[in-house]
Amino acid sequence: MSRVIGKVAIVTGGGSGLGRADARALAREGARVMVTDVDEDAARAVAQEIGGEYLRHDVRSEQDWQAVIERTVARYGKLDVLVNNAGIVVPADIESATLEQYRLINAIHAEGTFLGCKYGIGAMKRKPGGGGSIINISSLSAVRGFPGVVTYAAAKGAILSITTTVAAHCREKGDGIRCNAILPGMIATPLLEAVVGAECPGVGQPDDVANTVLFLASDESRHMSGAHIVLDNASSIIGGGA
């Protein structure tokens, strides 16, 4: 019950699905957690459940990011772990997707993760001794062809590139900050239900992602940075067909 004891974590999109499971797991293992979400009521409910704090936070907003980082450090004294998890999906293929959708999805996933890394690193560096762990939630759709989610896949691909670049930057700076990405396959959450419906056998559970988040947040993963971790129970590597 102490794998992340003493650490301070921010989980974006922490009011539902994977973010909620991450927040619960981090709190259970000893972290103090700031739950943020554009849905303030959802964030508040999770924070109350786990004994953490919450903030309304739209990850598209640079001002919101500055306020969230500032208030987390003011409340808990530092930042050790940032989980860039918030997201939505708008199902559409390349022929039906609109530029407006593309920009919206990229603003949330790609720009949100960019801002999180930018301001998260700033706070982590200021702490005595430095160090920290940034965990970016990408998706299997970044590296496999799912025709019906083109804007989402593009944004999730950007998250992988941001992760690689940030990890290389932090290693070069020697600041002890690590940055890794998780690429979940289908996980049972409201987001997945919106895409494929309620009935979808064989999907993963939010705790399957949360356990990986916990590992990346903890010092157990201290030599791991720049990794792209596929979490799909082998669904993407099973052969078949011509």
Which active-site residues does the annotation give? 152
With 0-12 CB in 10 A as exposed, 13-18 as middle and 19+ as buried, what is 41?
A: exposed
Which residues 197-236 are close enough to bind ligand NAD by CB under 6 A?
Answer: none
Provide the edge-to-edge strand list for the sheet that holds 8-12.
53-56, 32-37, 8-12, 81-84, 132-137, 177-184, 228-231
Query: Which residues 115-144 are close enough to bind ligand NAD by CB under 6 A?
Result: 137, 139
Site for ligand NAD contains 52 (CB under 6 A): no
Cα gap 177→167, rounded to integer Å: 8
If binding is defined by CB under 6 A, does position 82 make contact with ligand NAD?
no
| Burial degree of 114 (CB within 10 A; 0-12, 13-18, 19+) | buried
Minimal distance, residue 232 CB to ligand NAD, in Å:
9
Nearer to ligand NAD, 73 or 143 (CB): 143
Nearer to ligand NAD, 12 or 133 (CB): 12
Q: Give CA–CA dist 226/208, Å, rounded.
A: 20
> Does 53 participate in binding ligand NAD (rule CB under 6 A)?
no
Q: Which is nearer to ligand NAD, 132 or 184 (CB)?
A: 184
Give the range of 3-11, 13-21, 24-32, 45-53 binding ligand NAD by CB under 6 A: 13-21
- Give the interface size with ligand NAD as a residue count (CB under 6 A): 29
The helix (run of H) or strand (run of E) holding residue 33 is strand 32-37
Strands 228-231, 132-137: pairing is: unpaired
Q: Which residue is nearest to ligand NAD (CB)?
A: 17
Tokens found for residue 50:
């786990």
Per-residue x/- track, 139-168, ligand NAD (CB under 6 A): x-----------------------------
Helix (H, G, I), strand (E, B) or coil at 180: strand
* Binding footprint of ligand NAD on the chain (CB under 6 A): 12-13, 15-19, 37-39, 42, 57-60, 85-88, 108, 137, 139, 184, 186-187, 189-192
